[in-house]
């Protein structure tokens, strides 16, 4: 039993056990105690039934009241936290602590119960109901305690003591609107199980109106399209538009703290963060609206909203150099088609050669020339007499006509549009390629995550990562370092997908680069709030509505279109057909002319006396 008194006991309530425990202090109890016990039971069997309830009885109550009476007949399974010491964090590992307790029911007496004023770190219920088992109820003071300030829904049950007839004492339900103009406790009426049948009755939305509260956010304005500054100084972005919509809906104002040097923030060994998210952790800023992806570590140290966007890190590569122009005469057909065409020419030659045996016998060379000349749009000057040869040649002429048309039209296309080696599309291809990776060192988790990844492809990419310092005095904050390497064709630039695309557009280099189709670490973008922000759930509701209505995507698309170059500018960059594009055909003409000249000379030398017919 002594153990029970010195440490916290977590156990499923066995009323019997409580009795044994409580019987250590047999004390006379005030005559209204049965009322408190009844209200407690009614709450547990009424609105709280079906919820995971954690019951906590303050030491003060145990000394002045008979817990025995208070808990008589309590049958619903509840986790009881029973303690005589504050030092709960030291006694329990997380495994031993009750999990998923969404409702905390606290029975307090007089004084300042430690649970309300210094709640242990692991305790973060969604709902707290405080039953004051004392004649005086300092509601305003209780509502100011850290536990109640940090919980989304709180209510107090205060005794209306009737000195003459204490057994007819009643309880009233008190709540407060912490952010409204008047944060005084408000009574919701006298407790009766039929009036307060559900949680919603006891806990009306306490954050319907933020009453013009001023929220602060430290932002980086170098975060297009999420947050950026327009030329007229206005801060815009699809994240800030979400915040503006929330401010309108919830009636709050917001100010931006825009530091000269805004880093996202790293996680330090001692559990603190630097940068924008560090400000949120310390409570200097209420929320972080920049492009922040949800990571496990951040999810442990912050409250976070629902996701409003999904995106990963893009990899920007230089367009592969165009293939040499003179090769363009070969592009219309792929290798296989070229091989097939050669095969068909040979096959037809052989067939024509054998078919010609029926009439005037032709040499193999002549057969070949007849077959091949139609291929080059040359006239057939003698129609064969034999019908089989005639039919074969007719079919062949038709086939070569189709081939010629397809070749010529493809050639025209290939002459005008520059041809490239196929771009990379997957991370595997990138890992196999010569490209190294480049990223600006502003505290993003990517370089470290890649370097320590157990995934072979990611680890190989991590080994190729080069970091360049961020440079606040430069127009692109140090992104220039990576951009130059990308334009030089040695590196792939890693950064938030939309952001880095827009950077190249601003850098006027978007026509020279392309993003890898596959993205790295696709994740959920969220707003981060200081841990235990009680009104965070209102942002969840509002942001989910904005996402589902399509507004977030609409704002994103609008900003992306506005900020990338006008498509008309791109059109004017289309190449003009020049002599250099026709290198291939001219080369072929020269080769053909040269061969013809050699043939003519050879003929003249070998058969000097022959005259043409
Ligand atoms: C917003 O809050 C202010 C300040 O408390 C209040 O005067 C105003 O009525 C509220 N607006 C709305 C629409 O509730
Ligand atoms: C954590 O470490 C950083 C840097 O080492 C230091 O600046 C900061 O004060 C430390 N914070 C705490 C709470 O110890």
CATH of the domain at 125: 3.40.50
State if residue 251 touches ligand 1 by the CB under 6 angstroms criterion: yes
How far is the C-alpha of 462 from the C-alpha of 450, rounded, in Å?
4
CA 181 / ligand 1 centre spacing (Å): 8
CA 393 / ligand 1 centre spacing (Å): 91
pTM above 0.75, yes or no: no
How far is the C-alpha of 209 from the C-alpha of 180, rounded, in Å?
6
How far is the C-alpha of 239 from the C-alpha of 241, rounded, in Å?
5
Which parts of the chain register pLDDT below 50?
A: 1-26, 84-95, 100, 566, 568-570, 572
**Joined tokens for residue 93:** 């590992």
Which pLDDT score is estimated for 21? 42
Q: Among 249, 251, 254, say which to mutate for ligand 1: greatest number of ligand atoms within 8 Å of CB.
A: 251
Instruction: Tell me the C-alpha to C-alpha distance, in Å, between residue 348 and each of 287, 292, 338, 524, 537.
Output: 77, 67, 15, 62, 78
In a domain, 551, yes or no: no
Which pLDDT score is estimated for 214? 94
Among 482, 164, 109, 447, which residue's Cα sits nearest to residue 318? 482
CA 469 / ligand 2 centre spacing (Å): 23
How far is the C-alpha of 12 from the C-alpha of 9, rounded, in Å?
10
In a domain, 421, yes or no: no
**Joined tokens for residue 139:** 């509601």
Among 136, 97, 155, 217, which residue's Cα sits nearest to residue 527? 217
User: In angstroms, how far is the first alpha carbon of the chain from the final one?
Assistant: 130
In a domain, 611, yes or no: yes
State if residue 272 touches ligand 2 by the CB under 6 angstroms criterion: yes
State if residue 271 touches ligand 2 by the CB under 6 angstroms criterion: no
State if residue 249 touches ligand 1 by the CB under 6 angstroms criterion: no
In a domain, 1, yes or no: no
In a domain, 286, yes or no: no
Number of Cβ atoms within 10 Å of the Cβ of 258: 14
Instruction: Give the residue from 202, 236, 265 where a domain finishes.
Output: 202
* 528: enclosing H helix or E strand: strand 528-529
Going by alpha carbons, the residue nearest to atom 9 of ligand 2 is: 272
Query: Whole domain around residue 599: which residue ranges?
Result: 579-613
**Helix, strand, coil proportions of the chain in percent (round to 5)?**
40, 20, 40
Indicate if 16 and 163 belong to the same structural domain.
yes
Indicate if 195 and 339 belong to the same structural domain.
no
CA 56 / ligand 2 centre spacing (Å): 35
**Joined tokens for residue 432:** 């196999």
Indicate if 48 and 191 belong to the same structural domain.
yes
Going by alpha carbons, the residue nearest to atom 1 of ligand 1 is: 211
In a domain, 186, yes or no: yes
CA 186 / ligand 1 centre spacing (Å): 18
Burial class of residue 234, CB neighbours in 10 A (0-12, 13-18, 19+): exposed
User: What three-state secondary structure class fits 173?
Assistant: strand
State if residue 212 touches ligand 1 by the CB under 6 angstroms criterion: yes
How far is the C-alpha of 429 from the C-alpha of 10, rounded, in Å?
55
How far is the C-alpha of 528 from the C-alpha of 300, rounded, in Å?
11
Which pLDDT score is estimated for 157? 93
Indicate if 191 and 338 belong to the same structural domain.
no
Q: Which ligand is nearest to the CA of 180?
A: 1
Cα angle vertex 21, ends 18, 25, to 5°?
Answer: 120
Q: Among 181, 182, 210, 246, say which to mutate for ligand 1: greatest number of ligand atoms within 8 Å of CB.
A: 181
In a domain, 520, yes or no: no
Instruction: Give the residue from 389, 416, 443 where a domain finishes.
Output: 416
Beta-carbon contacts of 285 under 8 Å, excluding residues fewer than 6 positions away, are 216, 217, 218, 257, 276, 279
Q: Among 272, 273, 274, 275, say which to mutate for ligand 2: greatest number of ligand atoms within 8 Å of CB.
A: 272
Handedness of CA 354, 356, 360, 362 (dihedral sign): negative
Q: Which ligand is nearest to the CA of 268?
A: 2
Compute, in degrees rounded to 10, the torsion defined by CA atoms 124, 126, 132, 138.
80
Q: Which residues make beta-bridge pairs with 599?
A: none
**Chain-centre distance for alpha carbon 482:** 23
Which pLDDT score is estimated for 245? 96
Q: How many domains does the chain have?
A: 3
Going by alpha carbons, the residue nearest to atom 5 of ligand 1 is: 211
How far is the C-alpha of 281 from the C-alpha of 301, rounded, in Å?
8
How many residues in total does the chain contain? 613
State if residue 268 touches ligand 2 by the CB under 6 angstroms criterion: yes
In a domain, 297, yes or no: no
Which pLDDT score is estimated for 86? 47
Which pLDDT score is estimated for 85? 47
Instruction: Give the residue from 202, 223, 258 where a domain finishes.
Output: 202
Is 318 within 8 Å of 484 (Cβ atoms)? no
């Amino acid at each position: 039993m002594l153990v029970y008194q010195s440490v916290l006991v977590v156990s499923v309530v066995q009323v019997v056990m409580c009795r044994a425990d409580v019987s250590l202090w047999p004390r006379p109890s005030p005559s209204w105690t049965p009322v408190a016990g009844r209200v407690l039971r009614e709450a547990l069997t009424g609105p709280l039934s079906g919820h995971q309830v954690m019951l906590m009885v303050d030491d003060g109550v145990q000394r002045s009241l008979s817990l025995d009476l208070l808990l008589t007949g309590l049958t619903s399974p509840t986790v009881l936290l029973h303690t005589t010491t504050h030092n709960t964090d030291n006694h329990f590992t997380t495994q031993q602590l009750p999990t998923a307790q969404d409702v905390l029911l606290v029975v307090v007496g007089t004084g300042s119960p430690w649970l309300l004023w210094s709640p242990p770190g692991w305790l973060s219920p969604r709902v707290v109901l405080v039953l004051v088992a004392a004649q005086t109820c300092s509601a305003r003071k209780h509502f100011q305690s850290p536990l109640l300030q940090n919980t989304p829904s709180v209510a107090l049950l205060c005794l209306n003591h009737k000195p003459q007839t204490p057994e007819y004492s009643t309880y009233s339900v008190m709540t407060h609107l912490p952010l409204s103009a008047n944060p005084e406790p408000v009574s919701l009426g006298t407790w009766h199980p039929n009036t307060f049948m559900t949680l919603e009755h006891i806990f009306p939305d306490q954050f319907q109106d933020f009453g013009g509260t001023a929220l602060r956010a430290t932002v980086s304005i170098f975060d297009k399209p999420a947050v950026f500054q327009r030329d007229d100084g206005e801060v815009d972005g699809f994240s800030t538009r979400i915040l503006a919509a929330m401010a309108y809906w919830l009636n709050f104002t917001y100010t931006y703290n825009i530091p000269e040097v805004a880093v996202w923030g790293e996680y330090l060994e001692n559990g603190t963060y630097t940068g924008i998210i560090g400000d949120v952790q310390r409570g200097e800023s209420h929320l972080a609206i920049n492009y922040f992806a949800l990571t496990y570590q951040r999810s442990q140290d912050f409250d976070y909203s629902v996701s409003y966007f999904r995106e990963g890190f893009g990899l920007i590569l230089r367009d592969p150099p165009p293939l040499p122009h003179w090769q363009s005469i070969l592009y219309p057909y792929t290798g296989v088609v070229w091989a097939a065409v050669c095969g068909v020419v040979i096959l037809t030659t052989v067939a024509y050669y054998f078919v010609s045996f029926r009439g005037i016998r032709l040499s193999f060379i002549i057969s070949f020339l007849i077959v091949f000349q139609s291929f080059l749009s040359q006239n057939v000057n003698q129609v064969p007499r034999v019908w089989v040869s005639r039919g074969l040649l007719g079919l062949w002429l038709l086939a070569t006509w189709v081939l010629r048309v397809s070749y010529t039209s493809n050639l025209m296309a290939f002459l005008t549009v520059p041809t490239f080696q196929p771009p990379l599309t997957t991370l595997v291809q990138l890992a196999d390629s010569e490209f190294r990776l480049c990223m600006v060192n502003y505290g993003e988790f990517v370089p470290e995550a890649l370097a320590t990844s157990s995934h072979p492809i990611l680890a190989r990419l991590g080994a190729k990562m080069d970091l360049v310092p961020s440079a606040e005095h430069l127009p692109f904050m140090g992104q220039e370092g990576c951009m130059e390497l990308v334009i030089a064709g040695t590196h792939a630039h890693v950064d938030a997908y939309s952001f880095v695309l827009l950077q190249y557009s601003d850098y006027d280099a978007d026509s020279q680069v392309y993003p890898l189709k596959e993205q790295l670490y696709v994740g959920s973008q969220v707003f981060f709030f200081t841990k235990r922000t009680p009104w965070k759930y209102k942002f969840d509701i509002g942001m989910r509505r904005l996402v589902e209505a399509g507004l977030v995507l609409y704002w994103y698309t609008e900003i992306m279109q506005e900020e990338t170059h006008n498509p008309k500018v791109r059109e004017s960059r289309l190449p003009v057909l020049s002599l250099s594009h026709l290198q291939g055909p001219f080369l072929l003409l020269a080769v053909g002319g040269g061969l013809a000249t050699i043939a003519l000379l050879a003929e003249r030398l070998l058969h000097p006396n022959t005259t043409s017919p």
